[in-house]
Structure 1
Amino acid sequence: MNHTRRALLASAMLLGAGFAVGPAAAQQNDRSFSQNELVSSGHQFFGNVSRGLALTIEEAVRRWGEPNGYVLGQEASGAFVGGLRYGEGTLFTRNAGDRKVYWQGPSVGFDFGGEGARTMMLVYNLPSVRALYQRFAGVDGSVYFVGGFGFTALAAEGVTIVPIRTGVGWRLGVNLGYLKFTPEATWNPF
């Protein structure tokens, strides 16, 4: 009986922990974007990489739930141990409309090469557009030989951004860095 009670208590705790950190914890209501909406928008934006995009969005939604915003844009980056990334796009939200945004940021790590990419960034727990204008830190890994596809996650003050990139170029490595979002273009990555 004592073992049964312990097993039930452990199961209840694990189940509760799963609900606290799983997709149910993400904001999912009429202000969020469904997986089908994201895939449809991504198909129009990315074009022929649709299958990889759908699988990547499916994995992101499984991990973090439905986002309450997303960005579609383009970026360029290069690195030789230290690197820089610059991009611009449009932030789409249900409650604040569409806004032009820019991002830039430095990185450092075992990272070499350059790339140009089309980017879709899923934005989670964004309380207002102003909350986007800050630095989002994270670890990024890239493997591009002519073309490539991948995603990572960046976080700051409860807001999570998941950039999904498809690009061309040659890039290999892992780096630590951040993206700084701004309402206007700037060359200053810091």
Structure 2
Amino acid sequence: MWRRSRCGRIARCHATLRHRAANLGLNNPLPTHSLTAKVQSNRSHPRPTLDKDAPMNPDDQNALTRRHAVRLLGTAATVTAAGVSSLAAAMPALAAEDTYSQGEVTGIVADFFGMTTAAVAQVVERVFKDQGRPNAYIKGEEASAAIIVGGTLGKGALYRKRRQPFQVYWQGPSLGFDLGGNASKVVCLVYRLGADSEIFQEFAGVGGSYYFIAGIGVNYHQEGRIKLAPMRTGLGVRAGVNVGTMSITRDRSWNPF
């Protein structure tokens, strides 16, 4: 009797729980049979444990090494490509920003020489065709003379965009059949100049580079990557100066040799 009463209470309790679970949308609030089965399954098939001290299979280790190397190479390639792309995009803007256009140079030379832009444009066009856009220029005056052998002494200032101009001197010997003297104004275009200090060196004359257009004489000098294109106008402009050297210094020197 007592057992039947107890079983009846348990049955009624289960029925009440199932009724409440149905109202909450739960189909089976007491999945005891499935939970029991899962526990028994875990007991009969325990999960394997990893021994951290056990040696790794060589094949697995090689596979991990290869995957790691591929990931590193992929990351490095992405970073390098992004850096090169950014640098390539920035360089053209920087070059155009730091160099002088043909129109700018024509205006500078015409103003300093006191000539018309139409006359100056002819020689500037030739220089730009040969050398391109300069990133600096020297503006000043020089005196020179020669009877077969002579010398040149000059003084001026070097100009660059967004930088303060600074004073420079130049001197050098010259050779050639160039009777006469010279008191000239000079605008010397400078190409591929890096640091300001790189201008202070000796530049060899480029033989056969001299030409004379519209009253302006031009010749080229070079040392390494840096080129000079001095343009001169004045009395007695001499073709022989182009085979000499042009040494640019911080201080004045009265010895052209």
Superposition TM-score tier, normalisation by shorter sequence: 0.7 to 0.9
The answer to whether 1:62 aligns with 2:129 is yes
SS at match of 2:193: coil
Q: What one-letter code is carried by the residue in structure 1 that aligns with 2:152? A: R
Give the number of the structure whose residues are more often strand, by fraction.
1
Verify the 8 A CA contact 1:78 1:85 in the aligned structure 2: yes
* TM-aligned CA deviation for residue 173 of structure 1: 4.6
Question: Hey, what does 2:99 align to over in structure 1?
Answer: 32
Question: Hey, what does 1:164 align to over in structure 2?
Answer: 231
CA spacing shift, 1:43–1:109, aligned 2, 3 Å: closer
Question: Hey, what does 2:138 align to over in structure 1?
Answer: 71
* TM-aligned CA deviation for residue 59 of structure 1: 1.2
Higher relative contact order (CA 8 A, sep 6+): 1
CA spacing shift, 1:68–1:174, aligned 2, 3 Å: closer
Question: Hey, what does 1:176 align to over in structure 2?
Answer: 243
* TM-aligned CA deviation for residue 110 of structure 1: 2.5
The answer to whether 1:81 aligns with 2:114 is no
Verify the 8 A CA contact 2:146 2:180 in the aligned structure 1: yes
Verify the 8 A CA contact 2:98 2:135 in the aligned structure 1: yes
- Of the candidates 170, 175, 193, which is equivalent to residue 108 of structure 1? 175
CA spacing shift, 1:85–1:70, aligned 2, 3 Å: same
Q: What one-letter code is carried by the residue in structure 2 that aligns with 1:42? A: V
Aligned residues: percent identity?
A: 36
Aligned equivalents of 1:185, 1:86: Cα separation in 2? 9
Q: What one-letter code is carried by the residue in structure 1 that aligns with 2:219? A: T
CA spacing shift, 1:94–1:159, aligned 2, 3 Å: same
Question: Hey, what does 1:48 align to over in structure 2?
Answer: 115
- CA root-mean-square deviation: 2.3
Q: What one-letter code is carried by the residue in structure 1 that aligns with 2:112? A: F
| Bigger-Rg structure (1/2) | 2
CA spacing shift, 1:91–1:172, aligned 2, 3 Å: closer
SS at match of 1:36: helix
Q: What one-letter code is carried by the residue in structure 1 that aligns with 2:101? A: S
Aligned equivalents of 1:160, 1:34: Cα separation in 2? 17
Aligned equivalents of 1:185, 1:124: Cα separation in 2? 23
Question: Hey, what does 2:9 align to over in structure 1?
Answer: none
Q: What one-letter code is carried by the residue in structure 2 that aligns with 1:82? A: V
- Of the candidates 130, 148, 172, which is equivalent to residue 197 of structure 2? 130
Number of residues of Structure 1 aligned to a counterpart in Structure 2: 161
Q: What one-letter code is carried by the residue in structure 1 that aligns with 2:235? A: V
CA spacing shift, 1:175–1:186, aligned 2, 3 Å: same
Q: What one-letter code is carried by the residue in structure 2 that aligns with 1:121? A: C
CA spacing shift, 1:134–1:45, aligned 2, 3 Å: same
Provide structure 2 residue ranges, at least 5 long, that are not aligned to the other structure. Answer: 1-93
Verify the 8 A CA contact 1:96 1:129 in the aligned structure 2: no
